[in-house]
Structure 1
Amino acid sequence: MTERARYASDPQRSRGREFGVEASSARGPRSVFQRDRDRIIHSIAFRRLRHKTQVFVAPDGDHYRVRLTHSLEVAQIGRVIARALGLDEDLTEALCLAHDIGHPPFGHAGEDALQAALADHGGFCHNANTLRVLMRLESPYVEHDGLNLTWDMLEGLAKHNGPVTDAPWALAELDAAFPLDLGSHASLEAQVAAISDDIAYDNHDIDDGLRAGFLTLDHLLELPSLAEQWYAIEARFPGGQRDRLLRELVRGQIGRMVNDVLDETRARIAASGVASAGEVRAAGQTLCGFSAQMRGEERRLKQFMYARLYLHPDQVAVAGVARDVVARLFAAFADNPALLPPGWQQRLPSGNPGRARVIADYIAGMTDRFAIETFARLTGETPEGLRNV
């Protein structure tokens, strides 16, 4: 086991939980971060990720990624980086597994629809909704709402992409109840989770795009960095099967990015002189990241993926249908709250913005297929064009 670095998060020094330590109910010899991870894995919200969009909406094929498989892949990359840097692997894994729990059905299309529906009521943000789900909505315990995760876990989810200067309403409410020091940087474990997310979807979306036929090898060769790797792979494996060579390309690209992050992060840590998790938060900069060269390559890859995959005409058409489904679901529940399940009707405040936010909570928790089934039941219509692979 790698020795814990001085700048790593230490479960023995956690800032605790919103609703107390719960030592009397501890089950087994686990650290507080291990318990956080296990609470995520056993949650209903985590299980629902198996039927939520990653890139392709409700895909028919079994081999396409969904939010659940993406989160598992992020966690694998995150643990590798955390171990190499001497960080807490359990906290890193928990952050990786939980980072997408707040996504509504149909991915960013669903988020856009809820943002529009809540435009006069504070808006909708999937990252803030992750905290709302984990701290208030997912409630398996008798004593309190939420999963009662550690401060370190919640802080990492709130600001894994950096300090939060303008918190959306959901995050602001939670921060008022259990302050998360939103103005500082997060732990290195949270920073690793963020970069692992980028590495995973940058490369695994290539794999899914190739499988779906939205991307081709000729498209990939438009990027000099990928072309260089491809020609090297062809030289190493002359006569190799095309599909296997392409998977080698994706694996190699992940390895390049991980090694770059390790080299760059070690250099930044050394230059900053941080010697504790507190100093990481006070460093005034993100310490985990790509080198300047890799950052440029990754930026060009993202631009390429938007042009070739995410904004492909077929994808745009599907996103339009998905937004319409979510928008009409929200309108139906807002016009007639009796359509909500009884438990959700009981949660409804008498007026807005609370009323609209509870309706959004219900819709955001839906899987793709449950949203489609609910839409068909309420409207008598089967939405067409919600699958493009």
Structure 2
Amino acid sequence: MRAPYAADADAHGGREFGAATAAGPGETRGPRSDFQRDRDRIIHSMSFRRLKSKTQVFIAPEGDHYRTRLTHSIEVAQVGRVLARALGLDEDLTEALCLAHDLGHPPFGHAGEAALSEAMARHGGFCHNAQALRTVMRLESPYPEHDGLNLTWDLLEGLAKHNGPVAAPNWALAQLDEAYPLSLGTWPSLEAQIAAVSDDIAYDNHDIDDGLRAGFLDLDDLLELDFLAQQWRAVEKRFPNAPRDRQLRELIRDQIGLMVNDVLDHSRANANDFGSVAQIRDAGRQIAGFSPAVAQHERALKAFMYKRLYYHPEQVSAAERARDVIARLFAAYSQDHRLMPEEWQGRLPATEPGRSRVIADFIAGMSDRFAIQACEAIYGERPMGLSNV
């Protein structure tokens, strides 16, 4: 059943450049809603395909089973669809938001973002969330009539502020908001709020899986967290003779299930008094998310993961080398634009800050592998020590 506060694909906020691009006289491209078209445009974009070679936790992993930004985004979408369907929200808009939320990440994940932020410090800085909007609104341009993917206002609004209102947008988001206002001061739809918490659920738990696989985490580490220890005892009781690796995967599934059910219960209770998506946006507070008790557990889990995995000495060492790759690429392109492909040379403004911003666009779109290859081509040596798994 469709909830009264769900986004409506038949009554969305429009598109920056009018209707969806026509297929041609007498032609159709299938019986899809506008939110389904948004989702499909994202899936078919080059930016989405490049996520297969962008860092999630481990930089340029050699193993086949570690997550990348692409597999993470697919997993976020799976969680988001479940939540949206159970809450009576628009499943297609939720899925599209989940699939698009990381399109602005540069190579090497947060290490690459830190390097670009430093390189762009005098030119307005760099923010991966704003870059995701810049990617779908200006850079990814397969259509003859306009720049960008021309996604619905509802999708763009959700991407811009899925973590809540934006009081001080950086230059990229401010420019886009000026061209196509996204009501940055209000909360977004419940679909966007669900996409945000789905991201938390996916990476909180799947990063544990990857950390265990890499040997950077072990069970004794995890059992320092009381709420995980309690679930582990329940797993051992249910499956006393199962191999340890299967028990650990069951623990992660249980943790995901606990979080999903908590979000459903808490969000339903919060949304009971709302009768439209407009009321959700005007509520002045977050409606969909964890209960206070689970939110406290989730914050403790994040703090644990930063201490034991994200800031693990081997991770820090690899991140430093990754930042060096990005810094060297930015310096090289700034000094000699002829090192960039001709298509990108033609986009470069003659003056700053626009010139550096286009260079950042080019680097941000790179995969890990392409960035490594580009650095090797320019400097004559392959960056070493980037992959630690």
Q: Which residue of 2 aligns with 1:128?
A: 130
Whether 1:378 and 2:384 are equivalent positions in the alignment is: no
Q: Which residue of 2 aligns with 1:284?
A: 284
Segments of structure 2 that go 5 or more residues without pairing to the other structure are none
Q: Which residue of 2 aligns with 1:363?
A: 363
User: Displacement, 1:24?
Assistant: 3.7
Q: Which residue of 1 aligns with 2:7?
A: 9
Q: Distance in 2 between matches of 1:316 and 1:193?
A: 29
Whether 1:81 and 2:91 are equivalent positions in the alignment is: no
> Sequence identity, in percent?
68
Give, as a single letter, the amino acid of the residue that structure 1 aligns with 2:234: A
User: Displacement, 1:268?
Assistant: 0.9
User: Displacement, 1:23?
Assistant: 6.6
Query: 1:186-265 residue pairs with structure 2 within 5 A?
Result: 186-265=188-267
Q: Distance in 2 between matches of 1:233 and 1:144?
A: 54
Q: Which residue of 1 aligns with 2:321?
A: 321
TM-score under structure 1 length normalisation: 0.98
- Determine if contact 2:217/2:309 at 8 Å carries over to the other structure: yes
Change (3 A) 1:18 1:158: same
Note the alpha carbon deviations across 1:49-92, whole angstroms, 9 max, x for none: 00000000000000000000000000000000000000000000
Provide the aligned length of Structure 1 versus Structure 2: 385
Q: Distance in 2 between matches of 1:88 and 1:387?
A: 39
Q: Distance in 2 between matches of 1:348 and 1:298?
A: 44
Q: Which residue of 2 aligns with 1:310?
A: 310
SS of the aligned residue for 2:149 comes to: coil
Q: Distance in 1 between matches of 2:21 and 2:38?
A: 14
User: Displacement, 1:159?
Assistant: 0.3
SS of the aligned residue for 1:4 comes to: coil
Q: Distance in 2 between matches of 1:21 and 1:87?
A: 23
SS of the aligned residue for 2:195 comes to: helix
TM-score under structure 2 length normalisation: 0.98
Q: Distance in 2 between matches of 1:269 and 1:370?
A: 45
User: Displacement, 1:240?
Assistant: 1.0
User: Displacement, 1:22?
Assistant: 3.1
SS of the aligned residue for 2:121 comes to: coil
Give, as a single letter, the amino acid of the residue that structure 1 aligns with 2:297: E
Note the alpha carbon deviations across 1:131-177, whole angstroms, 9 max, x for none: 00000000000000000000000000000000000001000000011
Give, as a single letter, the amino acid of the residue that structure 2 aligns with 1:224: D
Q: Distance in 1 between matches of 2:97 and 2:60?
A: 25
**Greater Cα offset, 223-232 or 20-29:** 20-29
Note the alpha carbon deviations across 1:299-348, whole angstroms, 9 max, x for none: 10001101100000000000000000000000000001111110100000
- Determine if contact 2:20/2:150 at 8 Å carries over to the other structure: no
SS of the aligned residue for 1:11 comes to: coil
- Determine if contact 2:165/2:185 at 8 Å carries over to the other structure: yes
Structure 1's consecutive aligned runs of 4 or more residues displaced over 6 angstroms after TM superposition are: none
Whether 1:39 and 2:41 are equivalent positions in the alignment is: yes
Query: 1:100-119 residue pairs with structure 2 within 5 A?
Result: 100-119=102-121
Segments of structure 1 that go 5 or more residues without pairing to the other structure are none
Q: Which residue of 1 aligns with 2:296?
A: 296
Selected match of 1:22 from 20, 23, 33: 20
Selected match of 2:156 from 154, 157, 168: 154
Q: Distance in 2 between matches of 1:342 and 1:23?
A: 28
Q: Which residue of 1 aligns with 2:180?
A: 178
Q: Distance in 2 between matches of 1:162 and 1:71?
A: 20
User: Displacement, 1:381?
Assistant: 1.4
Q: Distance in 2 between matches of 1:220 and 1:175?
A: 43
Q: Distance in 2 between matches of 1:129 and 1:135?
A: 10
Q: Distance in 2 between matches of 1:219 and 1:152?
A: 41
SS of the aligned residue for 2:126 comes to: coil
Note the alpha carbon deviations across 1:112-142, whole angstroms, 9 max, x for none: 0000011010000000000000000000000
Q: Distance in 2 between matches of 1:360 and 1:306?
A: 27
SS of the aligned residue for 1:230 comes to: helix
Give, as a single letter, the amino acid of the residue that structure 1 aligns with 2:11: R
Give, as a single letter, the amino acid of the residue that structure 2 aligns with 1:19: F
Q: Distance in 2 between matches of 1:238 and 1:322?
A: 43
Q: Distance in 1 between matches of 2:267 and 2:211?
A: 30
Give, as a single letter, the amino acid of the residue that structure 1 aligns with 2:346: Q
